[in-house]
A and B are shown apart, each in its own frame.
Chain A
Protein backbone atom coordinates (compact mmCIF):
# COMPACT_ATOMS: atom_id res chain seq x y z
CA UNK A 1 0.00 0.00 0.00
CA UNK A 2 1.57 3.28 -1.08
CA UNK A 3 0.67 6.01 1.42
CA UNK A 4 2.70 8.85 -0.06
CA UNK A 5 0.83 12.10 -0.51
CA UNK A 6 1.35 15.86 -0.56
CA UNK A 7 0.75 18.44 2.17
CA UNK A 8 -2.21 19.68 0.12
CA UNK A 9 -3.64 16.13 0.10
CA UNK A 10 -3.38 16.08 3.89
CA UNK A 11 -5.21 19.38 4.35
CA UNK A 12 -7.87 18.24 1.88
CA UNK A 13 -8.75 15.55 4.42
CA UNK A 14 -9.28 18.07 7.22
CA UNK A 15 -12.66 19.58 8.03
CA UNK A 16 -13.91 22.51 10.08
CA UNK A 17 -14.47 21.59 13.71
CA UNK A 18 -12.09 18.63 13.80
CA UNK A 19 -10.00 17.69 16.82
CA UNK A 20 -6.37 17.61 15.73
CA UNK A 21 -3.43 16.29 17.74
CA UNK A 22 0.01 17.69 16.94
CA UNK A 23 3.16 15.77 17.86
CA UNK A 24 6.47 17.17 19.07
CA UNK A 25 7.19 19.21 22.18
CA UNK A 26 7.41 23.03 22.44
CA UNK A 27 10.01 24.06 19.83
CA UNK A 28 11.00 20.47 19.07
CA UNK A 29 10.06 18.32 16.05
CA UNK A 30 6.72 19.88 15.18
CA UNK A 31 5.10 19.13 11.79
CA UNK A 32 5.36 22.81 10.91
CA UNK A 33 5.11 22.42 7.13
CA UNK A 34 1.71 20.75 7.63
CA UNK A 35 0.73 23.51 10.08
CA UNK A 36 1.70 26.08 7.43
CA UNK A 37 -0.46 24.27 4.90
CA UNK A 38 -3.40 24.67 7.32
CA UNK A 39 -2.53 28.38 7.60
CA UNK A 40 -2.87 28.61 3.80
CA UNK A 41 -6.28 26.92 3.90
CA UNK A 42 -9.75 28.08 5.02
CA UNK A 43 -10.09 25.36 7.69
CA UNK A 44 -11.44 26.72 10.99
CA UNK A 45 -12.96 25.94 14.44
CA UNK A 46 -10.30 23.37 15.25
CA UNK A 47 -9.70 21.81 18.65
CA UNK A 48 -5.94 21.40 19.04
CA UNK A 49 -4.35 18.89 21.40
CA UNK A 50 -0.63 19.55 21.75
CA UNK A 51 2.47 19.82 23.89
CA UNK A 52 2.31 23.25 22.44
CA UNK A 53 4.73 25.63 20.83
CA UNK A 54 4.49 27.86 17.77
CA UNK A 55 2.15 25.29 16.19
CA UNK A 56 -0.54 26.33 18.68
CA UNK A 57 0.44 30.01 18.64
CA UNK A 58 0.28 30.28 14.83
CA UNK A 59 -3.03 28.46 14.52
CA UNK A 60 -4.53 30.67 17.26
CA UNK A 61 -3.19 33.84 15.62
CA UNK A 62 -4.64 32.79 12.27
CA UNK A 63 -8.11 32.35 13.78
CA UNK A 64 -8.17 28.60 13.12
CA UNK A 65 -8.75 27.55 16.71
CA UNK A 66 -11.89 27.11 18.76
CA UNK A 67 -10.30 25.27 21.68
CA UNK A 68 -6.84 24.25 22.90
CA UNK A 69 -6.14 21.23 25.10
CA UNK A 70 -2.78 22.02 26.70
CA UNK A 71 -0.42 21.73 29.66
CA UNK A 72 1.90 24.41 28.32
CA UNK A 73 2.49 26.43 25.18
CA UNK A 74 6.15 27.41 25.12
CA UNK A 75 9.19 27.92 22.93
CA UNK A 76 11.56 26.75 25.75
CA UNK A 77 14.22 29.44 25.44
CA UNK A 78 11.36 31.95 25.03
CA UNK A 79 9.12 30.62 27.82
CA UNK A 80 5.88 32.35 26.83
CA UNK A 81 4.39 31.85 23.37
CA UNK A 82 3.23 35.34 22.36
CA UNK A 83 0.26 34.53 20.13
CA UNK A 84 -1.15 31.87 22.44
CA UNK A 85 -0.93 34.45 25.25
CA UNK A 86 -2.83 36.98 23.14
CA UNK A 87 -5.54 34.46 22.39
CA UNK A 88 -5.84 33.43 26.05
CA UNK A 89 -5.77 36.99 27.37
CA UNK A 90 -8.44 38.15 24.94
CA UNK A 91 -10.66 35.20 25.83
CA UNK A 92 -10.98 34.30 22.15
CA UNK A 93 -10.35 30.57 22.63
CA UNK A 94 -11.77 27.90 24.89
CA UNK A 95 -9.27 25.85 26.84
CA UNK A 96 -8.89 22.54 28.59
CA UNK A 97 -5.81 23.03 30.74
CA UNK A 98 -4.36 19.77 32.07
CA UNK A 99 -1.14 18.34 33.45
CA UNK A 100 1.49 17.13 30.96
CA UNK A 101 1.07 13.56 32.12
CA UNK A 102 -2.72 13.77 32.00
CA UNK A 103 -2.46 14.47 28.28
CA UNK A 104 -0.52 11.22 27.85
CA UNK A 105 -3.21 9.36 29.83
CA UNK A 106 -5.98 10.92 27.70
CA UNK A 107 -4.22 9.83 24.50
CA UNK A 108 -3.69 6.33 25.87
CA UNK A 109 -7.35 6.06 26.88
CA UNK A 110 -8.36 7.04 23.35
CA UNK A 111 -5.89 4.57 21.84
CA UNK A 112 -7.06 1.74 24.10
CA UNK A 113 -10.75 2.44 23.57
CA UNK A 114 -11.51 3.11 27.25
CA UNK A 115 -13.47 6.20 28.37
CA UNK A 116 -10.96 7.29 31.00
CA UNK A 117 -7.87 6.33 32.97
CA UNK A 118 -7.83 6.91 36.74
CA UNK A 119 -5.03 9.01 38.20
CA UNK A 120 -4.35 11.13 41.25
CA UNK A 121 -2.86 13.83 39.04
CA UNK A 122 -4.95 16.99 39.19
CA UNK A 123 -6.52 16.33 42.60
CA UNK A 124 -6.47 19.38 44.84
CA UNK A 125 -5.75 21.77 41.96
CA UNK A 126 -7.72 23.99 39.60
CA UNK A 127 -7.31 21.34 36.89
CA UNK A 128 -10.41 19.71 38.34
CA UNK A 129 -12.27 22.91 39.32
CA UNK A 130 -11.81 24.74 35.98
CA UNK A 131 -12.58 21.73 33.77
CA UNK A 132 -16.21 20.68 34.24
CA UNK A 133 -15.61 17.86 31.74
CA UNK A 134 -13.03 16.21 33.98
CA UNK A 135 -14.78 14.15 36.64
CA UNK A 136 -13.55 12.90 39.98
CA UNK A 137 -14.72 9.35 40.71
CA UNK A 138 -14.71 6.85 43.56
CA UNK A 139 -12.68 3.68 43.22
CA UNK A 140 -14.21 0.23 43.55
CA UNK A 141 -11.00 -0.86 45.31
CA UNK A 142 -10.28 1.81 47.94
CA UNK A 143 -11.84 4.73 49.80
CA UNK A 144 -10.05 7.45 47.86
CA UNK A 145 -11.27 9.64 45.04
CA UNK A 146 -9.48 9.67 41.71
CA UNK A 147 -9.41 11.89 38.63
CA UNK A 148 -11.01 10.13 35.66
CA UNK A 149 -8.86 11.53 32.84
CA UNK A 150 -11.14 11.31 29.79
CA UNK A 151 -10.00 9.84 26.50
CA UNK A 152 -8.67 12.50 24.13
CA UNK A 153 -10.02 11.00 20.93
CA UNK A 154 -8.48 12.71 17.92
CA UNK A 155 -9.89 12.93 14.42
CA UNK A 156 -6.44 13.51 13.00
CA UNK A 157 -2.86 13.59 14.24
CA UNK A 158 -0.04 15.44 12.52
CA UNK A 159 3.52 14.33 13.24
CA UNK A 160 6.97 15.06 11.86
CA UNK A 161 9.42 12.14 11.59
CA UNK A 162 12.96 11.84 10.36
CA UNK A 163 12.35 9.06 7.83
CA UNK A 164 9.49 7.01 6.47
CA UNK A 165 8.90 4.48 3.75
CA UNK A 166 5.91 4.64 1.43
CA UNK A 167 3.97 2.12 3.53
CA UNK A 168 4.04 4.42 6.57
CA UNK A 169 6.86 2.92 8.59
CA UNK A 170 8.05 6.07 10.38
CA UNK A 171 11.34 6.60 12.16
CA UNK A 172 12.13 9.15 14.83
CA UNK A 173 15.91 9.21 15.04
CA UNK A 174 16.22 11.96 17.66
CA UNK A 175 16.77 11.24 21.32
CA UNK A 176 13.08 11.49 22.20
CA UNK A 177 9.91 10.59 20.32
CA UNK A 178 7.89 12.52 22.96
CA UNK A 179 4.30 11.20 22.97
CA UNK A 180 4.09 10.92 19.18
CA UNK A 181 3.37 7.18 19.29
CA UNK A 182 0.28 7.90 21.40
CA UNK A 183 -0.82 10.76 19.15
CA UNK A 184 -0.67 8.28 16.27
CA UNK A 185 -2.67 5.65 18.18
CA UNK A 186 -5.27 8.10 19.54
CA UNK A 187 -6.29 9.39 16.10
CA UNK A 188 -8.59 8.06 13.39
CA UNK A 189 -6.09 9.28 10.82
CA UNK A 190 -2.43 10.12 11.25
CA UNK A 191 -0.47 12.08 8.68
CA UNK A 192 3.31 12.19 8.96
CA UNK A 193 5.67 14.59 7.27
CA UNK A 194 9.25 13.38 7.13
CA UNK A 195 12.64 14.77 6.28
CA UNK A 196 13.47 11.83 4.03
CA UNK A 197 11.62 9.00 2.26
CA UNK A 198 13.57 5.75 2.30
CA UNK A 199 13.16 2.26 0.84
CA UNK A 200 11.60 -0.31 3.17
CA UNK A 201 14.98 -2.06 3.06
CA UNK A 202 16.39 0.75 5.20
CA UNK A 203 14.59 -0.74 8.20
CA UNK A 204 16.12 -4.19 7.73
CA UNK A 205 18.93 -2.89 9.91
CA UNK A 206 17.74 -3.55 13.49
CA UNK A 207 19.36 -0.35 14.73
CA UNK A 208 17.10 1.61 12.35
CA UNK A 209 13.99 -0.48 13.03
CA UNK A 210 14.52 0.10 16.78
CA UNK A 211 13.67 3.77 16.19
CA UNK A 212 10.19 3.03 14.82
CA UNK A 213 7.71 3.70 17.62
CA UNK A 214 4.31 2.82 16.23
CA UNK A 215 2.85 0.37 13.74
CA UNK A 216 2.46 1.40 10.10
CA UNK A 217 -1.23 0.55 10.41
CA UNK A 218 -1.48 3.73 12.52
CA UNK A 219 -0.09 5.84 9.69
CA UNK A 220 -2.62 7.05 7.13
CA UNK A 221 -0.32 9.06 4.92
CA UNK A 222 3.28 10.21 4.60
CA UNK A 223 4.60 13.38 3.01
CA UNK A 224 8.24 13.97 2.20
CA UNK A 225 9.16 17.52 3.21
CA UNK A 226 12.87 17.96 3.88
CA UNK A 227 13.28 20.63 6.55
CA UNK A 228 9.57 20.38 7.29
CA UNK A 229 9.96 20.88 11.03
CA UNK A 230 11.50 24.35 10.61
CA UNK A 231 11.59 26.59 12.67
CA UNK A 232 11.41 23.80 15.27
CA UNK A 233 14.21 21.27 15.67
CA UNK A 234 14.51 17.82 14.16
CA UNK A 235 17.39 16.46 16.21
CA UNK A 236 19.87 15.04 15.23
CA UNK A 237 19.44 16.61 11.77
CA UNK A 238 18.95 20.28 12.73
CA UNK A 239 18.24 22.49 15.74
CA UNK A 240 15.53 25.08 16.22
CA UNK A 241 15.97 28.43 14.52
CA UNK A 242 16.61 30.95 17.28
CA UNK A 243 16.72 34.11 15.11
CA UNK A 244 13.55 33.03 13.32
CA UNK A 245 11.72 32.45 16.60
CA UNK A 246 12.92 35.86 17.80
CA UNK A 247 11.49 37.45 14.66
CA UNK A 248 8.27 35.53 15.18
CA UNK A 249 7.86 36.58 18.82
CA UNK A 250 8.95 40.12 17.90
CA UNK A 251 6.19 40.33 15.30
CA UNK A 252 3.62 40.04 18.11
CA UNK A 253 4.76 43.45 19.37
CA UNK A 254 4.59 45.12 15.97
CA UNK A 255 1.55 46.76 14.45
CA UNK A 256 1.53 44.39 11.49
CA UNK A 257 1.47 41.49 13.98
CA UNK A 258 0.97 37.95 12.75
CA UNK A 259 -0.13 39.12 9.31
CA UNK A 260 3.25 40.81 8.98
CA UNK A 261 4.96 37.55 9.90
CA UNK A 262 2.88 35.63 7.34
CA UNK A 263 3.50 38.24 4.64
CA UNK A 264 7.25 37.97 5.21
CA UNK A 265 7.61 34.21 5.48
CA UNK A 266 4.63 31.98 4.66
CA UNK A 267 4.66 32.03 0.85
CA UNK A 268 2.27 30.15 -1.41
CA UNK A 269 3.91 26.80 -0.73
CA UNK A 270 6.75 25.19 1.21
CA UNK A 271 9.33 25.96 -1.50
CA UNK A 272 8.56 29.66 -1.17
CA UNK A 273 8.61 29.43 2.62
CA UNK A 274 12.05 27.83 2.58
CA UNK A 275 13.35 30.49 0.19
CA UNK A 276 12.00 33.13 2.57
CA UNK A 277 13.90 31.64 5.52
CA UNK A 278 17.20 31.19 3.71
CA UNK A 279 16.82 27.85 1.98
CA UNK A 280 16.98 24.18 2.89
CA UNK A 281 20.77 24.16 3.27
CA UNK A 282 20.48 26.92 5.86
CA UNK A 283 17.84 24.94 7.76
CA UNK A 284 20.02 21.84 7.73
CA UNK A 285 22.96 23.88 9.02
CA UNK A 286 21.18 25.07 12.18
CA UNK A 287 23.14 23.73 15.12
CA UNK A 288 21.52 21.62 17.80
CA UNK A 289 20.55 23.32 21.06
CA UNK A 290 22.42 22.71 24.32
CA UNK A 291 20.15 22.01 27.26
Chain B
Protein backbone atom coordinates (compact mmCIF):
# COMPACT_ATOMS: atom_id res chain seq x y z
CA UNK B 1 0.00 0.00 0.00
CA UNK B 2 1.86 3.05 -1.27
CA UNK B 3 0.49 6.47 -0.36
CA UNK B 4 0.07 8.65 -3.43
CA UNK B 5 1.83 12.01 -3.60
CA UNK B 6 -0.23 13.32 -6.48
CA UNK B 7 -4.04 13.16 -6.28
CA UNK B 8 -7.01 15.45 -6.69
CA UNK B 9 -9.34 16.75 -4.01
CA UNK B 10 -12.15 14.72 -5.60
CA UNK B 11 -10.06 11.56 -5.21
CA UNK B 12 -9.28 12.46 -1.59
CA UNK B 13 -13.03 12.91 -0.96
CA UNK B 14 -13.86 9.57 -2.62
CA UNK B 15 -11.40 7.74 -0.38
CA UNK B 16 -12.63 9.62 2.73
CA UNK B 17 -16.25 8.95 1.83
CA UNK B 18 -15.58 5.26 1.17
CA UNK B 19 -14.72 4.90 4.87
CA UNK B 20 -18.37 5.54 5.65
CA UNK B 21 -19.16 2.07 4.24
CA UNK B 22 -16.13 0.20 5.61
CA UNK B 23 -17.79 -1.32 8.69
CA UNK B 24 -21.33 -1.70 7.32
CA UNK B 25 -21.27 -5.41 6.65
CA UNK B 26 -23.83 -6.76 4.20
CA UNK B 27 -25.98 -3.73 3.35
CA UNK B 28 -27.10 -2.02 0.16
CA UNK B 29 -24.77 0.92 -0.46
CA UNK B 30 -26.37 3.72 -2.46
CA UNK B 31 -24.16 6.59 -3.53
CA UNK B 32 -26.17 9.32 -5.24
CA UNK B 33 -23.93 11.39 -7.50
CA UNK B 34 -20.49 10.67 -8.92
CA UNK B 35 -18.32 10.99 -5.79
CA UNK B 36 -20.67 9.06 -3.44
CA UNK B 37 -21.12 6.33 -6.05
CA UNK B 38 -17.36 6.00 -6.54
CA UNK B 39 -16.92 5.97 -2.74
CA UNK B 40 -19.37 3.09 -2.40
CA UNK B 41 -17.76 1.27 -5.36
CA UNK B 42 -14.29 1.69 -3.84
CA UNK B 43 -15.50 0.35 -0.49
CA UNK B 44 -17.09 -2.65 -2.20
CA UNK B 45 -13.84 -3.41 -4.01
CA UNK B 46 -11.57 -2.93 -0.98
CA UNK B 47 -12.66 -2.48 2.64
CA UNK B 48 -16.07 -4.14 2.51
CA UNK B 49 -16.60 -6.74 -0.23
CA UNK B 50 -19.88 -7.77 1.45
CA UNK B 51 -21.58 -4.53 0.33
CA UNK B 52 -24.46 -4.75 -2.10
CA UNK B 53 -25.06 -2.28 -4.91
CA UNK B 54 -27.48 -1.73 -7.77
CA UNK B 55 -27.00 -0.55 -11.33
CA UNK B 56 -29.24 2.48 -10.57
CA UNK B 57 -31.87 0.92 -12.79
CA UNK B 58 -33.22 -2.47 -11.74
CA UNK B 59 -30.50 -5.00 -10.98
CA UNK B 60 -28.40 -5.80 -7.95
CA UNK B 61 -24.73 -6.27 -8.82
CA UNK B 62 -21.96 -8.52 -7.55
CA UNK B 63 -19.41 -6.06 -8.92
CA UNK B 64 -19.97 -2.30 -9.18
CA UNK B 65 -20.45 -0.89 -12.68
CA UNK B 66 -17.98 1.70 -13.95
CA UNK B 67 -19.62 5.12 -14.37
CA UNK B 68 -20.73 6.29 -17.81
CA UNK B 69 -20.71 4.63 -21.21
CA UNK B 70 -19.24 1.17 -21.06
CA UNK B 71 -17.70 -0.87 -23.85
CA UNK B 72 -19.81 -3.39 -25.77
CA UNK B 73 -17.73 -6.14 -24.16
CA UNK B 74 -18.76 -5.05 -20.65
CA UNK B 75 -20.85 -7.72 -18.95
CA UNK B 76 -22.81 -6.39 -16.02
CA UNK B 77 -22.48 -8.68 -12.97
CA UNK B 78 -26.17 -9.04 -12.09
CA UNK B 79 -27.09 -11.13 -9.08
CA UNK B 80 -30.77 -10.31 -8.57
CA UNK B 81 -33.62 -8.07 -9.64
CA UNK B 82 -33.96 -4.91 -7.57
CA UNK B 83 -36.67 -2.75 -9.09
CA UNK B 84 -37.76 0.48 -7.44
CA UNK B 85 -40.63 -1.05 -5.48
CA UNK B 86 -38.28 -3.61 -3.94
CA UNK B 87 -35.87 -0.84 -3.01
CA UNK B 88 -38.46 0.37 -0.49
CA UNK B 89 -38.68 -3.10 1.07
CA UNK B 90 -34.94 -2.96 1.55
CA UNK B 91 -34.93 0.68 2.80
CA UNK B 92 -37.59 0.04 5.41
CA UNK B 93 -35.83 -3.10 6.65
CA UNK B 94 -32.85 -0.89 7.47
CA UNK B 95 -30.26 -2.88 5.52
CA UNK B 96 -29.00 0.09 3.57
CA UNK B 97 -26.63 3.06 3.80
CA UNK B 98 -27.18 5.98 1.44
CA UNK B 99 -24.87 8.91 0.69
CA UNK B 100 -26.17 12.01 -1.01
CA UNK B 101 -25.63 15.76 -1.32
CA UNK B 102 -28.40 17.86 0.16
CA UNK B 103 -28.73 21.57 -0.63
CA UNK B 104 -29.06 22.51 3.05
CA UNK B 105 -27.84 20.73 6.20
CA UNK B 106 -28.79 22.41 9.47
CA UNK B 107 -27.22 22.08 12.93
CA UNK B 108 -29.49 19.12 13.70
CA UNK B 109 -28.40 17.20 10.61
CA UNK B 110 -31.81 17.77 9.06
CA UNK B 111 -31.53 18.27 5.31
CA UNK B 112 -33.42 19.97 2.52
CA UNK B 113 -33.67 18.72 -1.05
CA UNK B 114 -36.96 20.36 -1.84
CA UNK B 115 -37.62 24.09 -1.75
CA UNK B 116 -35.68 27.26 -0.88
CA UNK B 117 -36.91 30.70 0.17
CA UNK B 118 -40.25 32.39 -0.40
CA UNK B 119 -43.19 30.49 1.06
CA UNK B 120 -43.84 26.79 0.82
CA UNK B 121 -46.84 27.57 -1.42
CA UNK B 122 -44.61 29.59 -3.76
CA UNK B 123 -40.94 28.87 -3.01
CA UNK B 124 -38.27 31.08 -4.51
CA UNK B 125 -36.42 28.03 -5.79
CA UNK B 126 -38.06 24.65 -6.34
CA UNK B 127 -35.51 21.84 -6.26
CA UNK B 128 -35.81 18.06 -6.46
CA UNK B 129 -38.53 17.42 -3.90
CA UNK B 130 -38.46 15.21 -0.84
CA UNK B 131 -37.67 12.15 -3.01
CA UNK B 132 -36.99 9.12 -0.77
CA UNK B 133 -35.18 11.03 1.97
CA UNK B 134 -37.90 11.05 4.65
CA UNK B 135 -37.93 7.24 4.46
CA UNK B 136 -34.15 6.85 4.19
CA UNK B 137 -33.44 9.09 7.16
CA UNK B 138 -35.72 7.32 9.60
CA UNK B 139 -34.95 3.79 8.36
CA UNK B 140 -31.19 3.42 7.91
CA UNK B 141 -27.80 5.17 8.17
CA UNK B 142 -27.14 8.12 5.90
CA UNK B 143 -24.02 10.08 5.00
CA UNK B 144 -23.59 13.33 3.10
CA UNK B 145 -21.19 14.66 0.49
CA UNK B 146 -20.94 18.43 0.03
CA UNK B 147 -18.72 19.62 -2.86
CA UNK B 148 -18.70 23.24 -1.66
CA UNK B 149 -18.58 23.70 2.10
CA UNK B 150 -20.16 27.09 2.82
CA UNK B 151 -22.71 28.80 5.05
CA UNK B 152 -25.48 28.45 2.45
CA UNK B 153 -25.30 24.66 2.80
CA UNK B 154 -24.39 24.55 6.51
CA UNK B 155 -26.84 27.33 7.21
CA UNK B 156 -28.20 29.41 10.04
CA UNK B 157 -31.41 28.22 11.68
CA UNK B 158 -33.50 25.30 10.48
CA UNK B 159 -33.80 24.04 6.88
CA UNK B 160 -36.41 25.85 4.76
CA UNK B 161 -38.04 22.45 4.18
CA UNK B 162 -37.03 19.51 6.32
CA UNK B 163 -36.96 16.53 3.96
CA UNK B 164 -34.93 14.23 6.22
CA UNK B 165 -35.14 13.74 9.96
CA UNK B 166 -32.15 14.77 12.10
CA UNK B 167 -31.27 15.25 15.76
CA UNK B 168 -33.83 17.96 16.49
CA UNK B 169 -35.50 17.18 19.84
CA UNK B 170 -38.45 19.42 18.89
CA UNK B 171 -39.29 17.15 15.97
CA UNK B 172 -38.55 13.83 17.61
CA UNK B 173 -41.55 11.53 17.07
CA UNK B 174 -43.32 10.16 20.12
CA UNK B 175 -41.80 6.92 21.36
CA UNK B 176 -38.52 7.52 19.47
CA UNK B 177 -35.06 8.37 20.76
CA UNK B 178 -32.53 10.64 19.06
CA UNK B 179 -30.23 7.60 19.08
CA UNK B 180 -32.62 5.92 16.61
CA UNK B 181 -31.36 8.40 14.01
CA UNK B 182 -28.06 7.44 12.40
CA UNK B 183 -26.23 10.13 10.46
CA UNK B 184 -22.74 8.92 9.73
CA UNK B 185 -20.12 10.95 7.86
CA UNK B 186 -20.23 14.33 6.20
CA UNK B 187 -17.46 14.64 3.63
CA UNK B 188 -16.91 18.10 2.17
CA UNK B 189 -14.24 19.84 0.09
CA UNK B 190 -12.70 21.06 3.39
CA UNK B 191 -13.01 18.25 5.89
CA UNK B 192 -14.76 15.21 7.29
CA UNK B 193 -17.34 15.71 10.06
CA UNK B 194 -19.88 13.63 11.95
CA UNK B 195 -22.54 14.27 14.60
CA UNK B 196 -20.49 12.77 17.43
CA UNK B 197 -20.16 15.96 19.51
CA UNK B 198 -22.04 16.56 22.78
CA UNK B 199 -25.82 16.17 22.27
CA UNK B 200 -25.29 15.12 18.65
CA UNK B 201 -23.47 18.34 17.78
CA UNK B 202 -21.59 18.35 14.49
CA UNK B 203 -17.95 17.41 15.11
CA UNK B 204 -14.77 17.81 13.10
CA UNK B 205 -13.24 14.39 12.34
CA UNK B 206 -10.39 15.25 9.97
CA UNK B 207 -9.12 18.20 7.96
CA UNK B 208 -8.13 17.90 4.32
CA UNK B 209 -4.45 18.78 3.73
CA UNK B 210 -3.85 22.54 3.97
CA UNK B 211 -7.21 23.34 5.61
CA UNK B 212 -7.58 24.68 9.17
CA UNK B 213 -10.32 24.17 11.75
CA UNK B 214 -10.89 27.93 11.64
CA UNK B 215 -11.70 27.72 7.91
CA UNK B 216 -14.24 24.99 8.57
CA UNK B 217 -15.88 27.05 11.30
CA UNK B 218 -15.95 30.20 9.10
CA UNK B 219 -17.83 28.25 6.46
CA UNK B 220 -20.31 26.65 8.87
CA UNK B 221 -23.08 28.87 10.28
CA UNK B 222 -23.32 26.89 13.53
CA UNK B 223 -20.68 25.82 16.06
CA UNK B 224 -18.51 22.86 15.04
CA UNK B 225 -17.26 20.76 17.94
CA UNK B 226 -13.47 20.55 17.82
CA UNK B 227 -11.62 18.50 20.38
CA UNK B 228 -7.88 17.85 20.60
CA UNK B 229 -5.57 17.62 17.61
CA UNK B 230 -7.56 17.03 14.47
CA UNK B 231 -5.88 14.56 12.12
CA UNK B 232 -5.32 15.21 8.44
CA UNK B 233 -7.61 13.26 6.08
CA UNK B 234 -5.63 10.27 4.85
CA UNK B 235 -4.23 10.56 1.35
CA UNK B 236 -5.29 7.90 -1.18
CA UNK B 237 -3.01 4.97 -1.87
CA UNK B 238 -1.88 4.16 -5.41
CA UNK B 239 -4.05 1.05 -5.24
CA UNK B 240 -7.13 3.11 -4.36
CA UNK B 241 -6.40 5.59 -7.16
CA UNK B 242 -6.14 2.71 -9.64
CA UNK B 243 -9.54 1.36 -8.59
CA UNK B 244 -11.10 4.83 -8.79
CA UNK B 245 -9.70 5.27 -12.31
CA UNK B 246 -11.09 1.88 -13.31
CA UNK B 247 -14.54 2.75 -11.88
CA UNK B 248 -14.54 6.20 -13.53
CA UNK B 249 -12.96 5.70 -16.96
CA UNK B 250 -14.35 8.97 -18.34
CA UNK B 251 -12.95 11.01 -15.43
CA UNK B 252 -16.32 12.39 -14.39
CA UNK B 253 -14.81 12.94 -10.93
CA UNK B 254 -12.85 15.86 -12.37
CA UNK B 255 -16.10 17.83 -12.77
CA UNK B 256 -17.56 17.36 -9.29
CA UNK B 257 -15.60 20.00 -7.34
CA UNK B 258 -15.12 23.48 -8.80
CA UNK B 259 -11.85 23.78 -10.79
CA UNK B 260 -10.84 20.21 -9.82
CA UNK B 261 -8.18 21.29 -7.29
CA UNK B 262 -5.26 19.15 -6.15
CA UNK B 263 -5.73 17.21 -2.93
CA UNK B 264 -3.02 19.17 -1.10
CA UNK B 265 -3.83 22.85 -0.79
CA UNK B 266 -2.45 25.84 1.10
Whether a CB of chain B sits under 8 angstroms from the CB of A42 is no
Per-residue 0/1 for A171-209: is the Cβ within 8 Å of any B Cβ (1 yes, 0 no)?
000111111001000000000000000000000000000
Per-residue 0/1 for A93-113: is the Cβ within 8 Å of any B Cβ (1 yes, 0 no)?
000011111101000000000
Q: How many residues of A contact B (CB 8 A)?
A: 47
Q: Is the interface of B mostly helix, strand, loop or mixed?
A: loop
Q: Report the Cα distance A127→B125, complex, angstroms.
A: 18
CB pair A124 B83 closer than 8 Å: no
List CB contacts (< 8 Å) of A66-115 with chain B: 70-74, 79-80, 84-85, 88-91, 97-102, 104
Q: Report the Cα distance A80→B70, complex, angstroms.
A: 26
CB pair B83 A178 closer than 8 Å: yes
Whether a CB of chain A sits under 8 angstroms from the CB of B258 is no
CB-nearest residue of chain B to A174 = B58
List CB contacts (< 8 Å) of A35-79 with chain B: 70-74, 79
Do A178 and B85 form a contact, CB below 8 Å, given A125-B134, A126-B163, A145-B174? yes
Whether a CB of chain A sits under 8 angstroms from the CB of B130 is yes
> How near does chain B come to A86, taking the closest CB pair, in angstroms?
9
Per-residue 0/1 for A149-179: is the Cβ within 8 Å of any B Cβ (1 yes, 0 no)?
0000000000000000000000000111111
Per-residue 0/1 for B178-216: is the Cβ within 8 Å of any A Cβ (1 yes, 0 no)?
000100000000000000000000000000000000000
Find chain A residues with CB under 8 A from B70 CB: 290
Do A121 and B139 form a contact, CB below 8 Å, given A126-B161, A177-B83? yes
CB-nearest residue of chain B to A28 = B57
CB pair A123 B165 closer than 8 Å: yes
CB pair A143 B174 closer than 8 Å: yes
Whether a CB of chain A sits under 8 angstroms from the CB of B220 is no
CB-nearest residue of chain A to B88 = A101
Across the A-B interface, give the 3 residue pairs with the lowest CB-CB distance, nearest first. A91-B122, A144-B175, A124-B165
Question: Would you give 20 A-B contacts (Cβ < 8 Å), ordered by A?
Answer: A72-B130, A73-B129, A84-B126, A88-B122, A88-B123, A89-B126, A97-B130, A99-B130, A99-B134, A104-B85, A120-B173, A121-B138, A124-B138, A125-B137, A125-B162, A126-B130, A145-B175, A176-B83, A178-B83, A179-B85
Task: For the A-B complex with A97-B129, A145-B174 known, give 20 more contacts whose Cβ atoms are closer than 8 Å.
Answer: A71-B132, A72-B128, A73-B129, A91-B121, A98-B134, A99-B131, A120-B139, A122-B135, A123-B165, A124-B165, A124-B168, A124-B172, A124-B173, A125-B164, A126-B130, A143-B174, A144-B173, A175-B58, A175-B81, A175-B83
Which A residues form the contact surface with B (CB < 8 A)? 25, 70-74, 79-80, 84-85, 88-91, 97-102, 104, 119-127, 129-130, 136, 138, 142-145, 174-179, 182, 290-291
